[in-house]
Amino acid sequence: MNKPYIGVFGSAFDPPTLGHLDVLQQAVDHFDRILLVPSASHAFSKKSQSFLTRLALLNVFVDAISIDAVLEVCDLEAKMLQQSPGKPVYTFDVLKELEKSYRGSVNLSFIRGPDNAESEVWSRFYKAEEIEQRWPIFTAKERVDIRSSKVRSILGSIVADGNNTLDDLLLPTVKNFIRQHKLYQGNL
């Protein structure tokens, strides 16, 4: 029996956008299952919505999309953070922990968005070279220019609830969740 291929896609998902969806659409044919791992303590010290809020947003996002691979929201970073409070959780450590938990029963790969593939960003990753040596990396191409930071900026400046600026950036369910919970009012 062949070992299943599992892709690990980590991000702040603050909020999950159509850019994240595009990465998943590019990766889907390469994996049997994709783990979406929201950051609990961002290594680059990004300020973001609470982990539980982003986890809820990510679940709304996953529930709304239809992709051939099995998508699974994974809260491993939060569990790792509980073991070492106040410290960043690094991609390398997440992959190592997943490798340990699967005990060689899967082929594990790292899914990297085009923003993290930029050399000035990738070089800041903890043990970037070792990640490249230990695990295959699937790097998505830049097909859509949508960043969560752009969405947060727009949301921070929107006055009217009926603004359609976000229609090309977010899934309707994610946009509705953000509005219902009054998230991102004022820039983060």
Average pLDDT score over the chain = 90
> Does residue 159 lie within any of the structural domains?
no
The domain that holds 109 is classified in CATH as 3.40.50.620
Contact 68, 103 (CB under 8 A): no
Contact 55, 10 (CB under 8 A): no
> Does residue 65 lie within any of the structural domains?
yes
Binning pLDDT at 50, 70 and 90, where does residue 43 land? low
CA gap 157, 138 in Å, rounded: 35
pLDDT above 60 (res 160):
no
Contact 68, 108 (CB under 8 A): no
Identify the domain containing residue 42 by its residue range.
5-144
Instruction: Give me the mean pLDDT over the 124-149 stretch.
Output: 95
Beta bridge partners of 35: 8, 72
Considering its fold, how many domains does the chain have in total? Answer: 1
> Does residue 153 lie within any of the structural domains?
no
pTM, full prediction: 0.91
Write down the pLDDT at residue 108: 98
pLDDT above 90 (res 163):
no
> Does residue 12 lie within any of the structural domains?
yes
> Does residue 97 lie within any of the structural domains?
yes
> Does residue 185 lie within any of the structural domains?
no
CA gap 56, 173 in Å, rounded: 11
Instruction: Give me the mean pLDDT over the 25-44 stretch.
Output: 90
> Does residue 157 lie within any of the structural domains?
no
Beta bridge partners of 107: 5
> Does residue 160 lie within any of the structural domains?
no
